Amino acid sequence: MSARKPGPLLVANAHLVDGAGDHGIGDLAVEGGVVRAVGAGAGEGLDAERTIDAAGALLTPAFLDLHAHLREPGQEVKEDLASGLAAAAAGGYGTVVSMANTTPPVDEPGLVAELLQKAERLGGTRLRPAAALSRGLGGETLTDFAALQQAGAAMITDDGIPVADGRVMRSACEYAAELGLVVQTHSEDPSLRAGGVMNEGVVSQTLGLPGNPDAAEAAMVFRDCEVARLTGARVHIAHVTCKRAMQVVEHFKALGVPVTCEVTPHHLTLTDAALEGFDPVFKVAPPLRTEEDVAYLREAVRRGVVDSIGTDHAPHTRAEKERDLLTAPFGLPNIEVAFALLYTELVLGGELELDRLLWLLQDGPAAVMGWPAPRLTAGAPADLTLIDLTRERPVEPRRFLSKARFSPWAGEMLRGWPLLTLVGGAPAFELEEVAS
């Protein structure tokens, strides 16, 4: 990315939509990294360096992802900041919270600072690193939350590894509550999960594979919500996958406990039946569940129980994912296809309104973190994405900007692909065919 400050830009004839509503077809001017003006006459007095004719494409605030594995430091063979942030921009994301389960884990303030400095040099999608809850992700000794926050850590989480010790979780939440930090969980009971590689149920029994029961998730979600009730901490339950766990979240929300939750694109669109071909591409943690679970998650999304959609983008090398199901790592890449997948499956499928999907990627995650709601208003940061909702094209992993060039949805025809992503008014991603 060039270090040159972006010049004034006009996006003309765009369909303007944000969390405040549908503003119809209009223009939006960008100058100095912020939105200068919106609507008729937005370009008046603007010495635009560039004008883009959106031709009715959707222009909306760039998405926020509170849950992505960018693998740096130490696992750059899977992904690094350059490839991960580029992939995020291609998916329409303007801000990404990176997870701390790297090598070494992000458990020291210096590591947080280094990530932020490198991301700043790269430009593009904004990085907000998460920091580890426990030293070395060992689940025993807390990290220095205050120092990590001062260095720029956006949240605290050992995601990828459950915090098994309830006393450690309580201490973490008490500490985080004092600082106003969000604690994100990986809620699975390790003793119940054991060696499960997929959902425990009819499919796992048929395939003869060790299962991971929904009880492992529901039991730990209950504990983590109880700790939130006890401490008053802002606890965000990551990647809820099953009906029983979502019902637990609903119960505690009804009590006024400060818990929030996310679901992922893969848990909204895939079931454990995908593993019938023994393909480790579908091996994720927590696992893909049943049709009943997927249906309940979708209903919870519609009813407003779910606060955000986090990608849990988890890249690996192709060689790792080509091992057998017992030894292949958990996780899949999805940040580049997340919006198109959800728009096609849920919005065009008649199960979700577009404004609700956008809320789950914009206002919802912002509210979880206590950030300002993204808006298309004068003075707002010019973090924007322009999306073609009409043209259909296939998922082509070979074209991914992520280093993980494989996908459960390879070859599927989807609509809703980002054409352009601006971060601070500068292009972070742009398709060659965007008209100027």
**312 among known catalytic residues:** yes
Dihedral angle over CA of 348, 390, 239, 362, nearest 10 = -110
d(CA 66, CA 38): 28
- Burial (CB count within 10 angstroms: exposed 0-12, middle 13-18, buried 19+), residue 288: buried
Residues in CB range of 127: below 8 A, 6 or more apart: 70, 81, 85, 95, 96, 98, 115, 116, 119
Task: Report residue 383 as tokens.
Answer: 């973090």
Q: Is 252 helix (H, G, I), strand (E, B) or coil?
A: helix
- For the chain, the straight-line distance linking the first and the last C-alpha, in angstroms and rounded, comes to 20
Residue 142 has what DSSP assignment? Answer: B
Length of the chain: 436
CB 374 within 8 A of CB 363: yes
Find all residues with CB under 8 Å of 154, minimum gap 6, and list them: 97, 128, 129, 130, 182, 369
Instruction: Give DSSP secondary structure letters for 56-124.
Output: T-EEEEPEEEEEE---TTT-TTT--HHHHHHHHHHTTEEEEEEPS-SSS-S-SHHHHHHHHHHHHHH-S
Spacing of C-alpha 4 from chain mean position: 29
Choose the catalytic residue: 272, 312, 383, 388.
312
Question: Strands across the sheet with 93-98, in order?
Answer: 63-68, 93-98, 126-127
CA 297/CA 268 separation, integer angstroms? 7
Active site residues: 312
